[in-house]
Structure 1
Amino acid sequence: MNIVGLITEYNPFHNGHLHHFKLSKEVTNSSFSVCVMSGNFLQRGEPAIVDKWTRAKSAVDSGVDLVLELPTIYACQSAEYFSYGAIKLLDSLNIINSISFGSESGNLHLLKEIANVLSYETLDFKNHLKKSLSNGDPFPKARNYALKKSLDKDVSEILLKSNNILAIEYLKALNKLKSNIKPFTIKRKGADYNSNVLTGNISSATSIRKSLLENYDLNDIAKSVPSHSYRHLANFYNKYKTFNKLENYNEILLYLLRTSNKEMLNNLIDVEEGLNNRIKSVSNKHDDIRVILNNIKTKRYAYTRLQRILIHLLLDLTEDKFDTYHNSSLTYVRVLASNVNGFKILKEIKRNSNVDIITKFANYEKIKSKEIKEMIEIDKKATDIYFLGLNTSKTIKANYDYYISPYIKKD
């Protein structure tokens, strides 16, 4: 059983994802696939435009065998922790032969070179880093300088691209876990990840989301997504009459920002002394969440980091909580969608791993580990808050995780 692992958000599942999936199975010579997918809140600190079950359906209907949810505590983190959480989950299954990820570079050897230097930090690297920092250079610039000296080549352009950064972090996580999973990278095809313009058959997820959130017209993106994905997007829109976005939480976030004191803000993941004061000051002056973010943002405080902080505030994710869960060796598997092959994979996981597998959500209450229960309850909280953002009569109830079963494709 040759199984390839994929780490995704599928926000939404589009033709570029389908291309990557098919090519991944080809280059890894895999017959089976497992996808670890973010739930309802994502790495950039935003809600997914459609819920996790809708996106998982699109993936399985497009050929993926098994979709597992990446725990929320990792889904809304920096590239380093996002990548580590996903690789940790795949590695814990003890059945994954390879992983395949996209990158702008497409040069696995070079990405590995960079990852190895950053993973093991040779004395040479540390000395160059220290020298640059002592000259007053900001950390990213100092790190690039140290890498250039250690590798005898300039890799600064590589580190400017978002998928290259994730690729390097995946490789670092494999190093850290001493994993036997074999990595493959596929050069990204078509539009740049951050492109805002629809470009036909292969468009970026950013441009597809922009079109949907501005025009709410699925016809505009029909050429850019597989038919299954289009159908599931249409079903979601017909049910809720909207797609989700951060602005939908404006009032909730304003309430939390204005009622949280500086110490409470400082306890959140990604907040440091000084930033809490800035957040508090700005949020007291403005009532629009985008205006607040733009007024907090500086060269030091990136926009996506600030968005993640808002999600951590929504979910009450503190540094102490994260450290407790992150430092635990325990993990769990939450099934979002599967086909017939996916059930074969689940049998292999049960045979080869001792991870807790959750297909029926209520069964998580029987799990003995206090840490795992708390992590799953954060996933549940994320789901309930996610649907509040849609603000329709159909999203008032809570406990969606209890009511919605994994999607099973039987043929």
Structure 2
Amino acid sequence: MSTVGIIAEYNPLHNGHVHHFREAKRLSGASRSIVVMSGPFTQRGEPAAVSKRTRTEMALRMGADLVIELPVAYAVQPAEWFAFGAVALLEATGVVSSLCFGSESGSLSQLLPLARFLAEESAPLQGEIRRRLALGESFPAAYSAAAALVWRDRLDEGGPVGVAAGAEGPSGRTAGPADMSGAGAGSASPMNGSGLEDLLRGPNNSLGLHYLIALRRLGSGIVPLTVPRLGAGFHEPLRSGASIASATALRGLLREGGSLEGYMPEYSLSVLRREQEEGRGPLDWESFRSPLLHLLSTRSAAELGGLLDVGEGLENRLLRIVPELERFTVDGLLSALKSKRYTRTRLQRMLLHILLNHGKEEFSPGALSQGPGYIRVLGFRESGRTLLKKMKQSASLPVILRPALCSHPQLTRDLQASAAYAAAFASPLRSDLYSDYLKPPVMV
């Protein structure tokens, strides 16, 4: 029995996700699937539109056998740590044989050799990233430009740049056809610097690259696969007559009160409608306006400066800008803070760390490099019971179905994040605020 791993947010689950899920099962030939899913807050620093239990139900109705939670310690981090935490969880299950992710390129032929090269974290790469950050570039721009530069230097030196079938794969074993699966599979062709920057401008390419880097650093035997992204791009608006749209566009439509019919499978739509009718969503940053304003009004610059991603004078800018806003909105605050160096995503993550009181030391690279401390089960189908039984023998981390029976600092942060999220519901109940303790895993 083979199992394919999928890393997702399903925010919300739409037709593009269904296509990816089906292709992941087809490409891998797997009979079972495990989804690692973000909890109440997402990698771009936003509250999920609906709760993690709701999105777990959507995933199970789609056909996923088991859904596990990516701890908030990793879920709200830049791509490197988001990918590392998620891949480490799949590796820790001991049952996952392949990982399938979406990409703009639809091919591993260029991503694999690049991952081999960048996994070394060469001193020139890190030095160039620091230099560009000091010049005011955002981290994504600095990373892609630095990677392109050191890659070009390697080409100029005549160093190794390609991985083809039969060469060393991401885990150090011999790479077979599966390592090069997806559209455009085959031997790699060297990229020049500009080609690499173009490749990494695709957000799914960039995130997929970090999955491959994480596999290599973990010495994992999980085989990577990729599926070409279909339909609208990440920032593209809705297209008339299309059935696949980006989750970003769909969340925008939700905020405007529009219907997502035609863009989501019926089971996903029905679950979404139920949550809307019961006042449990959709949520966005403005749902957290009051608690965020309270925190920004009662903390000193020194207190803010001790939190993750608050630095380089941002604490002082925050305390200066908030009183200047005629009407406080999170969108208005983000617009006032945004600059060439600080992207909206980077600033949103900073606000999340303020909202959730995430300290620098607790979420430092040294702490994150230790990996997740447990496997938290959010839900499963009847077919997932077989996976759970197998994981009890194979998993290298504790498998948690009842959080009350486990004690771990990362889990404490997960429970706090869930309570903070539910507090933004229209009329939060005890069962919402403490659902992690009071409700069993979702079963379909």
Instruction: Tell me the TM-score normalised to structure 2 length.
Output: 0.84
Q: What displacement does 1:339 show?
A: 0.7
Aligned match of 1:254: 293
Match of 1:322 in 2: 363
Provide the secondary structure at the position in 1 that maps to 2:363. helix
Contact 1:6 1:33 in 2 (8 A): yes
How far residue 397 of structure 1 moved from its aligned partner, in angstroms, is 6.2
Which amino acid in the other structure matches residue 229 of structure 2?
R
Q: Residue in 1 aligned with 2:231? A: 190
Q: Distance in 1 between matches of 2:431 and 2:2?
A: 43
Moved more, 153-162 or 353-362: 353-362
Residue 405 of structure 1 aligns with an amino acid whose one-letter code is P
- Provide the rounded CA distance (Å) in 2 between the counterparts of 1:4 and 1:128: 37
Q: Residues 407 and 113 from structure 1, CA distance in 2 versus in 1: closer, same or farther, beyond 3 angstroms?
A: same
Q: How does 1:117-196 map to 2 (within 5 A)?
A: 117-121=117-121, 126=125, 129=128, 138=137, 139-140=142-143, 141-151=145-155, 152-153=191-192, 154-196=195-237
Q: CA deviation at 1:326?
A: 1.7
- 1:260-286 deviation digits (Å, cap 9, x = unpaired): 222222222222222222222212322
Displacement of 1:159 in angstroms is 1.3
Q: Does 1:312 align with 2:353?
A: yes
Taking the aligned partners of 1:282 and 1:131, their CA distance within structure 2 comes to 28
C-alpha RMSD of the superposition: 2.3
Specify the SS of the correspondent of 2:6. Answer: strand
- Cα displacement (A) at 1:132: 7.9
| Contact 1:92 1:331 (C-alpha < 8 Å) held by counterparts | no
Structure 1 equivalent of residue 163 of structure 2: none
Q: Which runs of 5+ in 1 are unaligned?
A: 368-372
Q: Is the contact between residue 388 and residue 395 of structure 1 (CA under 8 Å) also seen in structure 2?
A: no
1:379 and 2:414 matched: yes
Aligned to 1:331: 373
Q: Which residue of 1 aligns with 2:339?
A: 298
Question: Does the 8 A contact of 2:88 with 2:372 survive in 1?
Answer: no
- Corresponding position of 1:370: none
1:397/1:166 CA distance change after superposition, 3 Å: closer
Is the alpha carbon distance of 1:201 and 1:257 closer, same or farther for their aligned partners in structure 2, counting shifts above 3 Å? same
Local SS of the residue matching 2:383:
helix
Which residue in the other structure is 1:399 paired with? 434
2:316 to 256, 263, 277: 277
Alignment CA distance shift 1:59-1:242 (3 Å)? closer
Q: Is the 8 A contact 2:373 2:410 kept in 1?
A: no
Q: What whole-Å deviation, never above 9, does each CA across 1:68-96 have from its counterpart, x for those lacking one?
A: 01101111111111111101111111221
TM-superposed deviation, 1:388: 1.5
**What does the per-residue CA deviation read over 1:325-359, in whole Å, with 9 as the maximum and x for residues that have no partner?**
42435521111110122111111111112421121
| Change over 3 Å in CA distance of 1:354–1:143 after alignment to 2 | closer
1:343 matches 2:385: yes
DSSP-derived class of the 1:156 partner: helix
| More displaced stretch, 319-328 vs 220-229 | 319-328
1:214 aligns with 2:260: no
Cα distance between partner residues in 1 of 2:417 and 2:133: 42
Structure 1 143/327 Cα, relative in aligned 2: closer, same or farther at 3 Å?
closer
Measure how far apart 1:130 and its partner are: 8.4
> Structure 1 residues 34, 396: closer, same or farther in 2, change over 3 A?
closer
Going from structure 1 to structure 2, the CA distance change for 1:149 and 1:135 (only over 3 Å counts) comes to: farther
Amino acid at match of 1:235: R
Q: 2:377, 2:399 within 8 Å by CA — same for their partners in 1?
A: yes
Task: Give the distance between the partners of 1:134 and 1:339, measured in 2 at CA.
Answer: 46
TM-score (norm 1): 0.91
Q: CA deviation at 1:127?
A: 10
Kept in 2: contact 1:34–1:65 (CA 8 A) = yes
2:274 aligned partner, one-letter code: N
Task: Please state how far the C-alpha of 1:156 moved relative to its aligned partner.
Answer: 0.9
Contact in 2 for aligned 1:388/1:396 (Cα 8 Å): no
Partner residue of 2:40?
Answer: 40
Structure 2 residue ranges without an equivalent (≥5): 156-190
Aligned amino acid, residue 395 of structure 2: S
| Greater fraction helix | 1
Opposite residue 350 of structure 2, the aligned amino acid is: I
Structure 1 counterpart of 2:13, which letter?
Answer: F
Alpha-carbon displacement from aligned partner over 1:15-63 (angstroms, at most 9, x marks no partner): 1000000000111111110000001111111111110011000111111
Q: Does 1:105 align with 2:140?
A: no
CA distance in structure 2 between the partners assigned to 1:363 and 1:128 by the alignment: 45
Q: 2:421 corresponds to which letter in structure 1?
A: Y
- Maintained 8 Å contact 1:128/1:145: no
The residue matched to 1:183 in structure 2 has which SS? strand
Q: Match for residue 358 of structure 1?
A: 400
User: For 1:35, what is the secondary structure of its paired residue?
Assistant: strand
